[in-house]
Amino acid sequence: MESKEEQDAYIESFTSIIKGSLDAEKLEYDIKGRPKSIFSIRRKMLIQNVSFEEVRAAMEKGFAKALGVELVPGALSDYEKELVAQYREKYASREWRFRR
């Protein structure tokens, strides 16, 4: 279990990447959020009788709306697979996850 300080540091490092990308595109934005434990999220899902599929669909719809794109289900292209591999290697590294 991560401490509140570790959660806050992770959120800050994650949002700084998003802010950098949005700033580079000269987009106006407002990032809001707060740390939540996976246990409280799951408890809320159970109480409200919401499935993981419903959460995934809502997130997909939100991302598509926010990014102004149409997300097309199906297999990834070779280019997309290459990008996934690059990002997975970068963002799964211990150095990236725990850098301060």
pLDDT tens for the chain, residues 1 to 100: 567 788 888 888 888 888 888 888 888 888 887 777 888 888 999 999 999 999 989 988 888 888 787 888 888 888 888 888 888 877 777 776 665 4
Give pLDDT, residue 45: 92
Neighbours of 68 (CB within 10 A): 6
**Residue 40, in any domain of the structure:** yes
Task: Compute the distance between CA of residue 44 and CA of residue 20 in angstroms, rounded to an integer.
Answer: 32
Q: Which string of DSSP letters, residue by residue, matches 28-83?
A: ----------HHHHHHHHHHTT--HHHHHHHHHHHHHHHHT-----SPPPHHHHHH
Task: Provide the 8-state DSSP code for 35.
Answer: -
**Residue 51, in any domain of the structure:** yes
Which residue matches tokens 């279990």? 1
pTM as predicted? 0.47
**Residue 82, in any domain of the structure:** no
Give pLDDT, residue 13: 83
**Residue 95, in any domain of the structure:** no
Expressed as residue numbers, the domain containing 50 is 36-69
How many domains does the chain contain in total?
1
